Amino acid sequence: MFVVIVDIEKCRACGECIRVCPNQAFAIADEDGRRYAFFQGDPGDCIGCYSCEASCEDGAIWVLDL
Ligand code: SF4
Ligand code: SF4
């Protein structure tokens, strides 16, 4: 099972992780004007391709294989 963590302090809501995820597992949250990506799927939705982690130039995503 894979767990996907987004560091919202680092995320600048560029949307790249949304673009690359084959399972549409990310969305952008807007919390009082503060925007960041979050994992919106069920844990089983992540196939562990690591595309999101690789695509995030801000180092805001970790994919963990538990
Ligand atoms: S690619 Fe990184 S910076 Fe861009 S929205 Fe996703 S987590 Fe945030
Ligand atoms: S590792 Fe792949 S399937 Fe999992 S959330 Fe990232 S891009 Fe999506």
User: For the chain, which domains are there?
Assistant: 2-65 (3.30.70.20)
Q: Which two tokens stand for residue 26?
A: 């990310």
pTM of the model: 0.94
- Local confidence band at 2 (pLDDT 50, 70, 90 cut-offs): very high
pLDDT in tens, 7-57: 999 999 999 999 999 999 999 999 999 999 999 988 889 999 999 999 999
The pLDDT score that the predictor gives to residue 43 is 81
State the ligand closest to the CA atom of 43.
2
All residues at 6 or more sequence positions from 56 whose CB lies less than 8 Å from its CB, including other chains: 11, 16, 17
Testing ligand 2's pocket by substitution, the residue of 1, 3, 4 carrying the most ligand atoms inside 8 A of its CB is 4
In this predicted structure, what is the pLDDT of residue 62? 98
Distance 46 CA to ligand 2 centre (A): 5
